[in-house]
Amino acid sequence: MAKKRGKTKVKPEHYFVLADGRQVKSLIELVDALDDIEDDVFSHHVNSHKNDFSTWIRQVFRENELADSIQNLPSKQAVQIKILKFLVRMRK
């Protein structure tokens, strides 16, 4: 079941809404969004006080290990790499 949670799209009430208004429906969509998200939007969600992506992953996908691993990552690219590695491991 954990494998399924990371790849599938979530119900609309669990979509992650970025500060620029875009909706993210799955972990792979988050990875894609991080490719072109503006720095100020990323900083709105990830800063010294919070990490909204980590919180979303923990609460919606129940993937605590992944959430912990990205909690203190400072860059979009670092978050992308962690999520992509997680998704690859899930495929095995």
Taking only the tens of pLDDT, the chain with its 92 residues reads 334 555 678 999 999 999 999 999 999 999 999 999 999 999 999 999 999 999 999 999 999 999 999 999 999 999 999 999 999 998 87
- Burial of 19-41, coded b for 16+ CB within 10 Å and e otherwise, reads eeeeebebbbbbbebbeebeeeb
Q: 0.85 cut: is pTM over it?
A: yes
E strand or H helix at 15, and its extent? Answer: none
Task: Give the pLDDT score at 37.
Answer: 96
- Rounded distance, CA 28 to CA 34, Å? 10
Inter-residue contact 67 to 57 (CB < 8 Å) = yes
Distance CA 67, CA 60 (A): 11
The number of folded domains in the chain is 1
pLDDT, one tens digit per residue, over 36-60 is: 999 999 999 999 999 999 999 999 9
**Could you tell me the residue range of the domain that residue 24 belongs to?**
2-91
